[in-house]
Amino acid sequence: MKNAISPSRMENFSEWYQQVISQSELAENSGVRGCMVIRPWGYGIWEQIQRELDKKFKDTGHTNAYFPLLIPLSFLQKEAEHVNGFAKECAVVTHHRLEQSSEGKLTPAGELEEPLIIRPTSETVIGASFSRWVQSYRDLPLLINQWANVLRWEMRPRIFLRTSEFLWQEGHTAHASCEEALAETLLMLDIYERFAVDHLAIPVIKGEKCSWERFPGAVSTYTIEAMMQDGKALQAGTSHFLGQNFAEAADIRFVNREGVKELAWTTSWGVSTRLIGAMIMTHGDDNGLVIPPLVAPTQIIIIPIVRSEQNAEAIHAYCEILKKNISRKKLKGQNLRVTIDKRDMSSSEKKWYHIKRGVPIRVEIGIKELEQNTVSYSHRDNINNTLTVETTRFIKDASKTLQTIQTGMLERAQKRLSDNIETVTTLTNFKKAFNRQGKPNTFVMAPFIDDITIEQAISELGVTVRCIPLVQPKTAVPCLFTGQPTKCWALYAKSY
């Protein structure tokens, strides 16, 4: 049978990715360079992601706030490494109005005294508020999160993965001690891991970034790394321990219990709409998107199959009752999300429309189902297997079925990950692992020492250090590139 998406993943993974996004109506490129439009289906997934993460943040004591989009250059300049890290990709606002010439051409006017940049991230502008809010140890910890758009000018944009503008959340916290800030950094990393695994069905490897992959200005950066179906790595979320660097830059000081003024310790952490890209490349197949049930805007789509106008009303009424009864059921505390596709369109068109969009369960209700009081349905991850069961049974099992689909997706992704990690102890094998013609890429665990000369050596192979995993092998092996003794192993991979 012909697949809905061409090319297939095997033929051209990158083009397949674009086609899935376009045909599932997740998002599209806009007329604005590097900026995407997130269409309702894509935004619906983002809303599910937001809802769950927001709950996890609030359950751990964080509250939301909102800070300015525009940052004065003077703020950005306060942390030297930070400004160097972002200067090359800042959108700069220089004027505050437009003038129309006599020929009707618009030109910028009203030049600003100090240019403003659109936030690429908000440490500096949030730091300015924190320095006002934090006076005493009683004001700590200060646990803030912001849902916002940010902008980093991208030379080679790629929808959901690297767009100039993207949506994200950025957590920013201040603490009275180093230990507490470090614990917060790791707690948020754990929350990201749990969310990726439990909700997106994406297994991840937690670890610390090496020095040259750190967030500009951070003392240490932690990451969750996921494996896409082409064997490349995707950084899916990061959590930064900022030490006292940003507190010093923004003057965040507090009077401690002994009455002495101290610098605070800060963290920041974020995930973005990139998670949708990770979801597509982890679960999609040659028929389009496959959405994990827990984040699907519609979990069950009901398609009425009306071949004669005579039965139309009865079939539609049957669908409505079915929808109502399923919607009452819950999964992880949320009512099931069910939709009836009533559009004026052939049922075959509808079927493929929802397959490409990755709806977890597709129900078809025709005259036979009506007469026999049954439901015919397929799971998105096995579209050719249509099952028919009694309606009451289907309703009763709906939540469980969705959970089973969710678990199955995670297990397949976990197997793919564990099947495709190699441990390598020689340079020859390292090179071989990244040069297998016609086969998917792999993740490689190899010894590591934090020496910038390694970056040069591996970048020639198109490889990056993804992280130093928190879970480490016990043995010690010399560095493959420098021969120096090492104390840890790193995860190496080609990456997005």
Residues that bind its own copies (CB under 8 A): 28, 30-32, 35-40, 42-44, 46-47, 63-73, 75-77, 83-84, 87-100, 104, 106-108, 110, 115-118, 125, 128-129, 132, 138, 144, 148-149, 151, 153, 165, 167, 343-345
CB 149 within 8 A of CB 19: no
Nearest-angstrom CA–CA distance, 233 and 440: 12
For its own copies, the closer of residues 106 and 476 by Cβ is: 106
Determine the straight-line distance between the first and last CA of the chain, rounded to whole angstroms. 32
Give the span between the Cα atoms of 72 and 223, in whole angstroms.
Answer: 29
Closer of 106 and 312 to its own copies (Cβ):
106
CB of 113 to its own copies, least distance (A): 10
Kindly state the DSSP code that residue 158 receives in the 8-state scheme.
B
Residue nearer to its own copies on the CB measure, 147 or 396: 147
Q: Respond yes or no on whether the N-terminal peptide bond of residue 7 is cis (omega within 30° of 0).
A: yes
When the beta carbons of 132 and 332 are compared against its own copies, the nearer one is 132
Question: Rounded CA gap, 436 and 432, in Å?
Answer: 7
Q: How far is the CB of 345 from its own copies (least distance, A)?
A: 7
Residue 212 to residue 222: CA distance in whole angstroms = 13
CA neighbor of 313 nearest in space, from 392, 363, 367: 367
For its own copies, which is the closer residue by CB, 73 or 421?
A: 73
Q: What angle do CA 489, 490, 495 make, to 5 degrees?
A: 165
Beta carbons of 141 and 165 less than 8 angstroms apart: no
What is the smallest separation between the CB atom of 190 and its own copies, expressed in angstroms?
23
Distance CA 170, CA 126 (A): 10
Report the amino acid identity of residue 26: L
Nearer to its own copies, 8 or 149 (CB): 149
CB atoms within 10 A of CB 388: 13
Q: How many CB atoms are located within 10 Å of the residue 348 CB? A: 10
Residue number with CB closer to its own copies (34 or 207): 34
* Owner of token pair 């040259």: 212
Contact 231, 214 (CB under 8 A): no
Closest distance to its own copies from the beta carbon of 403 (Å): 25
CB of 439 to its own copies, least distance (A): 37
Nearer to its own copies, 316 or 431 (CB): 316
What backbone torsions phi and psi does residue 331 show, to the nearest 5 degrees? -135, 120
Q: What's the min distance (Å) between Cβ of 125 and its own copies?
A: 7
Integer Cα distance of 360 and 157 in angstroms: 30
Nearer to its own copies, 137 or 190 (CB): 137
We find the least distance from the C-beta atom of residue 306 to its own copies, in angstroms, to be 16
Cβ proximity to its own copies: between 38 and 355 the closer is 38
SS3 277: helix
Q: How far is the CB of 312 from its own copies (least distance, A)?
A: 18
> Judged by CB, which is closer to its own copies: 95, or 194?
95
CA distance 285 to 23: 13
User: Dihedral of CA 204/205/209/212: which sign?
Assistant: negative
From the number of C-beta atoms within 10 Å of its C-beta (0-12, 13-18, 19+), residue 32 rates as exposed
* Least gap, CB of 339 to its own copies (angstroms): 11
Q: Which is nearer to its own copies, 276 or 424 (CB)?
A: 276
**Two tokens at 303?**
């398609």
Residue 4, CB half-sphere, CA atoms under 13 Å: how many?
25
Q: What is the 3-state secondary structure (H, E, C) of 190-211?
A: HHHHHHHHHCCCCCEEEEECCH
Say if residues 27 and 163 touch (Cβ distance below 8 Å): no
Contact criterion met (CB below 8 Å) for 117 and 145: no
CB of 325 to its own copies, least distance (A): 20
Shortest separation between residue 218's beta carbon and its own copies, angstroms: 20
Query: What minimum distance in Å lies between the beta carbon of 300 and its own copies?
Result: 18
